[in-house]
Amino acid sequence: MPPPRITIRNLYSDLAASILHFQNDTSAVEESRNRIEASLSDGQTHYGINTGFGALANKRVADHQLGQLQRNLLLSHAVGVGQPVLPEITRLMLRLKIHGLGLGYSGVSLPTFKRLLDFDRLKLLPVVPSRGSVGASGDLAPLAHLSLPLIGLGEFWNDHSTAGLPALDVLQDYDLTPIELAAKDGLALINGTQLMAAYGAYVLENCVRLVDLFDLAAGMSLEALQGTIKPFDQRIFDIRPHPGHGVVAASVRKLLEESEILESHRNCGKVQDPYCLRCVPQVHGASRDALAYATTVLETEMNGVTDNPLVFENGDIVSGGNFHGQPLALALDFSAIALAEFASISERRTYLLLEGHDGLPRLLMRETGLNSGFMIPQYTAAALVSENKVLCHPASVDSIPTSLGQEDHVSMGSISAVKLLQVFENVETVLAIEILTAAQALDYRLPLRPGRGIEAAHRLVRERIPHREADYLFQEDLAKAFALIRGRELLEAAGME
């Protein structure tokens, strides 16, 4: 029975099921390993098994040195630098590595595979520097650091997510001894795209929630600004049927059902709203479609094998390029651009809420002058949107040859991955600012009721964050708004779950 397929929507439960599968069934690993063992006595040269690596592929290594060859591979490639990968992303890296090796095309030895399962079971997370990969033979340096504790080197995180516990000390605490790597082990461990895939999966899994929250924020702003629902008409979508457009338009229409605010200005004579309101289906929808494409790429990657060489059922050992990060590099760059556009249009709605439209007080407080009102949170949103413009320069258009020219085209996908996370975090903050600002503006439309979904979400915001009529420490309310968007309570309240 094959392991479960890993999906973005059910990322964590699917990976847990995969780990459970391999804890109970290592037959694919054992069969693949048997093919490697058979190759050691066939008298032929096999890349990375009895040869050097990269530019040293033409150097044959003696049989008695094959274990040392694999150990040296980890030592020489563990040259990562920079801030450590977040523990939650490192855990994804580890589980994705186990899943890829467990599919049975890598030839990893059973003791090495089982020790990785031990790390997962015991919640032992290696410390992995975030910089040093060019996404060529996958994520060589980060995966070398992920693997160092197998041989008693490197570091683990402690229980409080503080880096720096010596791996050998931690292994001793758990009565584990460093393992001896066998032929092909080191190569199987460090070839692969698990750093890129882990970052991408982490962000895209969070985007399942985030894209709906942006539609909710747009609906709140639309009501607060007394915008029109007409641009969300199904007939507009029908004659330009990009999938995301239809999803967004239907979502906002549902949120605004039974709106007294809409009814109050239905015949006001206003012809058109600014684009940040009128074009929500087109802009949000395009970003949704881009993220859907990236999700397809990530799911293909997570369920594939990105090692080299690959070991096939008939015993063939074939050197190829499945470790090249280009599919992920492009998808992750595209994801960053898509997320940045959510924040870009959100910041414009926040700005519009401050201008005093249709009876709203300018800067959303009645006594301004003495008070700055909601002026300055928009500065923060503007700063983050501007920062995203720099971060969205695609890393995937760059390539610097490595390995003495053997790796003459590289993906730079790890850079795409690391900056995608920063864009995502910026975008979350911009969303929190819009939710906070739109809730303040909606207060001034009372006693008219917004749409049923908007009203429920607004009520939840007000349960956590009070209306303000004087300056205060905005950071406190921003933190509360951020906590709301990090969970699913707002979506549940609005009926979007």
Contact assessment for residue 494 and residue 451, using Cβ atoms and an 8 Å cutoff: no
Q: Provide the 3-class DSSP secondary structure of residue 55.
A: helix
Residues ≥6 apart with Cβ < 8 Å to 71: 151, 181, 186
293 labelled catalytic: no
CA distance 67 to 183: 6
Q: Which amino acid makes up residue 1? A: M
Give me 300's structure tokens: 């293909």
Contact assessment for residue 116 and residue 321, using Cβ atoms and an 8 Å cutoff: no
Residue 265 to residues 257, 270, 275, 301: CA-CA distances in angstroms? 15, 9, 19, 50
Marked catalytic residue, from 47, 293, 351, 444: 47
Task: Report helix angle 413-443 to 375-391, nearest 10.
Answer: 160
Task: Report helix angle 326-353 to 194-224, nearest 10.
Answer: 20
Burial class (CB in 10 A: 0-12, 13-18, 19+), 124: buried
Helix, strand, coil shares of the chain, percent, nearest 5, are 60, 5, 35
Q: How many CA atoms lie within 13 A of 432 on its CB side?
A: 24
Burial class (CB in 10 A: 0-12, 13-18, 19+), 468: middle
Q: How many CA atoms lie within 13 A of 324 on its CB side?
A: 15
Contact assessment for residue 72 and residue 95, using Cβ atoms and an 8 Å cutoff: no
CA distance 83 to 323: 24
Q: Number of helices (H) and strands (E), helices first, in the chain?
A: 20, 6
Residues ≥6 apart with Cβ < 8 Å to 3: 17, 18, 21, 22, 99, 102, 103
Residue 77 to residues 70, 137, 165, 193: CA-CA distances in angstroms? 11, 12, 20, 15
CA torsion through residues 214, 220, 226, 230, sign: positive
Q: Provide the 3-class DSSP secondary structure of residue 266.
A: coil
Give me 200's structure tokens: 């991408």
Closest CA relative to residue 249, chosen from 300, 210, 284, 299 = 284
Q: Which residues are catalytic?
A: 47
